[in-house]
């Protein structure tokens, strides 16, 4: 926040700025109870105070700690007035883009998304590299949307191959876009650049229509959330997360449950759980594969964020401020043999923050791919 002089000028309520903010969010419902700050996983170890962000917005000011927010939506889930605080944060970040007051590295990230169609700033021709040894039917009205992480990151590519293997095992007819796929735009949306988000969504919508896509299966919860919002606005196809799609295959009998035993604890990704209310499908998949799910103290709507959302995957976070370390410790404390999640970001964060904890980290798709049968 800007430094104040010893004899500051009177602070005045900025009616124009507040009305503009209230027109695009429901921030006017906030009555400064502070529940959001109490729920925020960063309030204990950073100067971020969610209530303060909202209050300063009433005066046309923007707190420098705005960029620490992970958009995990724990504040949204706890707000007694139903204020969309994540939407408020995105809007305030949008204002900062207009004055070019954004963290170092974010402009490069967005240029890469615009020019290369991915968050890794890598050539589009490498986007299909995850498909080694994977046979994709290449037909049908169902599209597997792989996303940037599962396309380019070697660790996340294993998740994509596992999802494809499960769809193949069930005999699903589906297609992928390969090198023609472009970023879903969620990273742009999270850091407040709605213009790029809309552009990428429109590009995907046009590609879906050309391919006759009626249903999209997203691997990443971030793609799931972004495509749901974008395709709904553009009249596009139905969008589901892969855990929902695989659960339906099990329920229809196209896949049968496994018999291997073991214990696993499941971490709810913020963009799958709190943002979209998908809590049970991943747990059912784990149980149907023969595993016993042991819950952490903070689960479902109260799950602790990994720390990778809200653009934080592309901004440096001091070790003391990283909630991922606490989350891995919580998982290890359950006594479970494995920590499973259903998000490439969470996998990346947990594996880097695992430290001395012995609990292995895996994705639900990887875990069940070898445990269920056709």
The CATH number of residue 70's host domain is 1.10.1060.10
Q: Which of 33, 65, 98 is the last residue in one of the domains?
A: 98
Q: pLDDT per position in the chain (374 positions), as tens?
A: 445 456 655 656 777 877 878 777 888 899 999 999 999 999 988 889 999 998 888 888 888 899 999 999 999 999 999 999 999 999 999 999 999 999 999 999 999 999 999 999 999 999 999 998 899 999 999 999 999 999 999 999 999 999 999 999 999 999 999 999 999 999 999 999 999 999 999 999 999 999 999 999 999 999 999 999 999 888 889 999 999 999 999 999 999 988 778 999 999 999 999 999 999 999 999 999 999 999 999 999 999 999 999 999 999 999 999 999 999 999 999 999 999 999 999 999 999 998 878 899 999 999 999 898 88
- 8 Å CB contact between 127 and 157: no
- Nearest alpha carbon to residue 192 among 88, 269, 115: 88
Asked, for residue 164, whether it belongs to a domain, the answer is: yes
Long-range contacts of range 250-255, CB-CB < 8 Å, 24 or more positions apart? 250/284, 250/285, 250/288, 250/372, 254/170, 254/171, 254/172, 254/374, 255/166, 255/169, 255/170, 255/372, 255/373, 255/374
CA atoms in the 13 A half-sphere facing the CB of 176: 25
CA distances from 76 to 47, 83, 89, 140, 339 (A): 19, 6, 11, 38, 26
- 8 Å CB contact between 317 and 346: no
> Domain span at residue 274?
255-369
CATH of the domain at 148: 3.40.50
Are 110 and 224 found together in one domain?
yes
Asked, for residue 7, whether it belongs to a domain, the answer is: no
CA atoms in the 13 A half-sphere facing the CB of 350: 32
* Cα torsion angle, 30, 31, 37, 38, sign: negative
Q: Hey, which residues does 264 pair with through a beta bridge?
A: 293, 338
- Nearest alpha carbon to residue 310 among 95, 37, 77, 106: 106
Are 59 and 190 found together in one domain?
no
Are 241 and 327 found together in one domain?
no
Q: How many domains does the chain have?
A: 3
Q: Which of 206, 228, 248 is the last residue in one of the domains?
A: 248
């Amino acid at each position: 926040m800007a430094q104040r002089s010893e004899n500051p000028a009177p602070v005045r309520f900025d009616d124009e700025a507040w009305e503009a903010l209230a027109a695009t969010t429901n921030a006017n419902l906030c009555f400064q109870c502070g529940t959001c700050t109490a729920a925020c996983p960063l309030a204990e170890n950073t100067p971020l105070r969610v209530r303060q962000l909202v209050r300063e917005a009433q005066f046309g000011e923007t707190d420098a700690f705005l960029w620490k927010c992970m958009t995990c939506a724990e504040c949204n889930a706890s707000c007694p007035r139903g204020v969309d605080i994540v939407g408020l944060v995105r809007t305030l970040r949008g204002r900062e883009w207009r004055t070019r007051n954004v963290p170092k590295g974010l402009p490069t990230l967005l240029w890469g998304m615009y020019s290369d169609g991915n968050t890794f700033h890598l050539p589009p021709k490498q986007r299909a590299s995850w498909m080694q040894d994977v046979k994709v039917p290449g037909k049908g009205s169902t599209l597997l949307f792989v996303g940037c992480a599962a396309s380019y990151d070697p660790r996340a590519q294993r998740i994509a191959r596992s999802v494809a293997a499960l769809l193949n095992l069930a005999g699903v007819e589906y297609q992928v876009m390969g090198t023609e796929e472009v970023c879903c735009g969620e990273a742009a949306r999270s850091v407040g650049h709605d213009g790029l988000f809309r552009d990428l969504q429109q590009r995907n919508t046009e590609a879906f229509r050309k391919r006759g896509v009626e249903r999209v299966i997203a691997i990443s919860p971030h793609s799931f959330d972004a495509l749901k919002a974008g395709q709904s606005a553009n009249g596009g196809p139905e969008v589901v997360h892969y855990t929902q799609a695989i659960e339906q295959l099990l329920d229809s009998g196209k896949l049968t449950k496994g018999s291997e035993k073991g214990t696993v604890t499941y971490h709810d990704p913020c963009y799958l759980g709190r943002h979209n209310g998908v809590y049970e499908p991943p747990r059912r998949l784990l149980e149907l594969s023969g595993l016993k799910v042991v819950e952490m103290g903070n689960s479902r709507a109260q799950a602790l964020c990994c720390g990778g959302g809200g653009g934080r995957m592309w901004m440096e976070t001091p070790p003391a401020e990283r909630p991922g370390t606490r989350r891995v410790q919580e998982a290890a404390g359950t006594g479970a043999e494995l920590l499973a999640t259903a998000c490439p970001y969470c996998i990346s964060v947990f594996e880097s923050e695992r430290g001395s904890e012995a609990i292995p980290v895996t994705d639900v798709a990887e875990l069940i791919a070898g445990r269920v049968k056709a």
